[in-house]
Structure 1
Amino acid sequence: MSIRPFPWAKALALLLVAALVGCGLPRSGPHKKEIFAGSVLREGDAFVVSVNDRVTRATSVTPVLGFSNTFLNAGQIGSDTIRPGDTLGLTVWENVSNGLLSSAGQAATELNAVQVDDAGFIFVPYAGRIRAAGNTPERLRQIITERLDAQTPDPQVLVTRLSGDGASVSVMGGVASQGVYPIERPTRQLSAMLARAGGLTIEPEVAQINVMRGGHRSRVWFQDLFTDPRLDIALRNGDRILIEEDSRTFSVLGATGTQDRVRFQTQTLSAVEAIAQVGGLNSNFADPTGVFVFRNEPEEIARNVLGRTDLVGDQRMVYVLDLTEPNGLFEARDFSIRDGDTLYVTEAPFVQWRKTLSAITGTLNPVANYSTLANR
């Protein structure tokens, strides 16, 4: 009587073949065990740290933007102070029928568009060359009146500031109307000047306002202008205002909805928000126990995280998030993603087995794989 071979022998042979095939199958990146194998504790070159409340607090460092004291302590420019380049309007009333300036039958003489020259002077007939820059319209009115009083009886003078081209700022970047704008009474502060330029054309949540003044440069978040009134600074002649989108990015790899370099969409970004921003975990491949954040951590933060004082320079850190733990989602919600981070989600253990079966049977249907093996 012949004895049929025990069917598990074939199954064992298939498993051995599967193991060999599985070693060379394509995958999206290292397995969880391989990442842990690179830990300093296992003679690797990175510190692998599980995220908890203490780690979250130690790593919660977000960029703080704000104006320096040079900008904050600058007072508003007096809107009535005349400067070189300003355009003035002059009106002179004389108490005689045939005045110095007036025509027959006209008591008032208008001198429109009198521009202050680069040296700060204007010319007024019969009053001569008068320094206007540095004076208010009221003071200039008095000076002109005194000059004319000796030549025409009791003149009345009105001085108006028509435009302030002499004190101007340039607005560039993400605004509706880029250009050079005069600093006038309604636009002496930053927020008003941005409104004058038509407002932002980029999302307010990621808009940064850069102000360059001489050799100084500072920047703030656009939204902070409205939460902290001190940041709505007074403008100065020659200021350059640049509105640009936040340039911070993070990279995402592995079993997620996409693999890409992704821009921040908010001032702060948590691990959960970063995962959601790229379409979440791939339910067919992702291992929710293997969510990793790779980062070069500054020395001070690395020391706080690891509780060590012997570290020198930036340290390679790998933070581990387990979304299946009771507080896993809370930890991921509180853990901050920073500029330059790499978010990597490992594949679930069964994925490699499924790929192996597919390689053997030539089909991607797991149920068909198992049926085929059973038949064989």
Structure 2
Amino acid sequence: MFTGSKLAKAVALTAAVAVVSSCGLPRSGPTKREIYSGSVEKDGNAFVVSVNDHVARATNVTPALGFSKAFINAGVVGSDTIHAGDVLGLTIWENVDDPLLGAPGTSATPLQEVQVDGAGFIFIPYAGRIRAAGNTPEALRRIITQKLDKQTPDPQVLVSRLAGDGATVSIVGGVGGQGVYPIERPTRTLGSMLAKAGGISVEPEVTQITVIRGNKQGKIWFEDLYKHPKLDIPLRGGDRILIEQDTRSFTALGATGAQSRVKFTSQSLSAMEAIAQVGGLSSNFADPKGVFVLREEPAKIANAVLNRKDLQGEQRMIYVLDLTKPNGIFVARDFMIRDGDTIYITEAPFVQWSKTLSAWMGTLNSANTVNTLAGN
């Protein structure tokens, strides 16, 4: 028969063994050993690769943004060119007492807000239907003068192009003033039009500009617009300009300063910068030898990383960074994070040992309490 004291000790011993053997201790995620056990070499479905200079170069792929030649090589639209939908202001002077267009005794006849129709024509009394689209105000003035010269002696014509619907662009997104803007002499290119709209209202480092023209579109980084003058493309009537913040992000898990989904803060982001962005490694828990980056890698890059040619389709890759190596920090600085990556940092081995010890001590303290009560 067990006495009360012996029974309490037996219960404590059994509980302590159960805690350690069950592997039920709380933790932030899998251990290094468990991750490696899922590698292809051990019949898993992911390639586990230690990052070195070769791997960093092979995986260094950044989003390719830019405008096609059709956008870049397009000529600047003449600031005075008339388009379908534009509104014109016309004034006609006649050198007679009884003018064709005006009241008797008046020499000038204003024809305000004459709109160019969808086919590009306007109608002028006694001159008929005249094609305006594609002409400058000066060219249209000459045409109208020739038409009226047959009806009234020596007519004088003034034509001005007002802001119209036919030569406008729409700007939406992160700008000071969203809206529809006419293409005028000072705003014939992308950069000047953005300035007209009040400039961007989001972080310049992660701002992207998309220009949609018909069924074509191009996208660039805002900062590149001023670094590369050729990207300041001429605009066309009907262009749609979208200003938006970069939507790329990565997920940080494990023994980091913060576990969350994190947006990119620059055009390119290294593993070292990403770790710093989430508060760095936890000094109390993180294993600097166990920094993992998980991603779905295109076959072309996976083959280059593994020095193979037979892989097809996306491959699950787990890249391992060891910050304790002599060049570990340099490699982490050269290894680029991509959209959708998961950064997982394992706990240091002593952390689990410490948790196990704490569990033992807690169980033994409970046993001592039971033993004391039993002795009473």
Q: Which residue pairs with 2:373 in the alignment?
A: none
- Is contact 2:205-2:265 (8 Å) kept? yes
Shift of 1:78: 2.0
- Is contact 1:87-1:162 (8 Å) kept? yes
Mapping of 1:27-66 within 5 angstroms?
27-66=27-66
Q: 2:342 & 2:223 partners in 1: Cα distance?
A: 27
Q: 1:50 & 1:118 partners in 2: Cα distance?
A: 64
Shift of 1:60: 0.4
In structure 2, stretches of 5+ residues that fail to align are: 1-12, 369-376
Q: Which residue pairs with 1:178 in the alignment?
A: 178
Q: Which residue pairs with 2:204 in the alignment?
A: 204
Q: Which residue pairs with 1:319 in the alignment?
A: 319
Q: 1:324 & 1:15 partners in 2: Cα distance?
A: 38
For residues 78-120 of structure 1, what are the alpha-carbon distances to aligned partners after superposition, in whole Å with 9 as ceiling and x for unaligned?
Answer: 2222112111112233344554445677544333222222232
Q: 2:120 & 2:303 partners in 1: Cα distance?
A: 60
* Partner-residue secondary structure (3-state), 2:166: coil
- TM-score normalized with structure 1 length: 0.86
Q: Which residue pairs with 1:214 in the alignment?
A: 214
Q: 2:75 & 2:288 partners in 1: Cα distance?
A: 55
- Is contact 2:271-2:337 (8 Å) kept? yes
* Partner-residue secondary structure (3-state), 1:309: coil
In structure 1, stretches of 5+ residues that fail to align are: 1-12, 364-368
Which shows bigger deviation, 236-245 or 134-143? 236-245
- Is contact 1:89-1:160 (8 Å) kept? yes
Q: Which residue pairs with 1:278 in the alignment?
A: 278
CA separation of 1:328 and 1:313: change in aligned 2, threshold 3 A: same
* CA-based RMSD: 2.5
- Is contact 2:166-2:238 (8 Å) kept? no
Q: Which residue pairs with 1:4 in the alignment?
A: none
Could you list the structure 1 runs, at least 4 aligned residues long, displaced by more than 6 angstroms after superposition: 13-16
Q: 1:16 & 1:311 partners in 2: Cα distance?
A: 48
- Is contact 2:84-2:133 (8 Å) kept? yes
Q: 1:317 & 1:293 partners in 2: Cα distance?
A: 8
- Is contact 2:213-2:238 (8 Å) kept? yes
Shift of 1:155: 2.3
For residues 235-276 of structure 1, what are the alpha-carbon distances to aligned partners after superposition, in whole Å with 9 as ceiling and x for unaligned?
Answer: 222222222221211111100011111111111010011111
Q: 1:335 & 1:195 partners in 2: Cα distance?
A: 36
Q: Which residue pairs with 1:366 in the alignment?
A: none
Q: Which residue pairs with 1:288 in the alignment?
A: 288
For residues 100-143 of structure 1, what are the alpha-carbon distances to aligned partners after superposition, in whole Å with 9 as ceiling and x for unaligned?
Answer: 44567754433322222223222333333322122211111111
CA separation of 1:313 and 1:119: change in aligned 2, threshold 3 A: closer
- Is contact 1:22-1:353 (8 Å) kept? no
For residues 288-330 of structure 1, what are the alpha-carbon distances to aligned partners after superposition, in whole Å with 9 as ceiling and x for unaligned?
Answer: 1111101111111111111122322222211111112221111
For residues 10-68 of structure 1, what are the alpha-carbon distances to aligned partners after superposition, in whole Å with 9 as ceiling and x for unaligned?
Answer: xxx79973872671101111111222222222332222111111111111011111122
Q: Which residue pairs with 1:144 in the alignment?
A: 144
Q: Which residue pairs with 1:75 in the alignment?
A: 75
* Partner-residue secondary structure (3-state), 1:88: strand
CA separation of 1:276 and 1:72: change in aligned 2, threshold 3 A: same
Q: 1:27 & 1:334 partners in 2: Cα distance?
A: 30
Mapping of 1:84-163 within 5 angstroms?
84-96=84-96, 99-101=99-101, 107-163=107-163
- Is contact 1:21-1:356 (8 Å) kept? no
* Partner-residue secondary structure (3-state), 2:151: coil
- TM-score normalized with structure 2 length: 0.86
Q: 2:165 & 2:309 partners in 1: Cα distance?
A: 58
Structure 1 counterpart of 2:189, which letter?
Q
* Partner-residue secondary structure (3-state), 1:23: coil
Shift of 1:225: 1.2
- Is contact 2:116-2:122 (8 Å) kept? yes
Mapping of 1:217-296 within 5 angstroms?
217-296=217-296
Shift of 1:217: 2.3
Q: 1:199 & 1:18 partners in 2: Cα distance?
A: 65
- Is contact 2:16-2:359 (8 Å) kept? no
**Highest RCO, 1 vs 2 (Cα 8 Å, sep ≥ 6):** 2
- Is contact 2:176-2:200 (8 Å) kept? yes
Q: 1:316 & 1:119 partners in 2: Cα distance?
A: 56
- Is contact 1:18-1:360 (8 Å) kept? no
Shift of 1:278: 1.0
Q: Which residue pairs with 1:354 in the alignment?
A: 354
Structure 2 counterpart of 1:237, which letter?
G
Shift of 1:343: 0.2
Shift of 1:187: 1.8
* Partner-residue secondary structure (3-state), 1:77: coil
Structure 1 counterpart of 2:334, which letter?
D
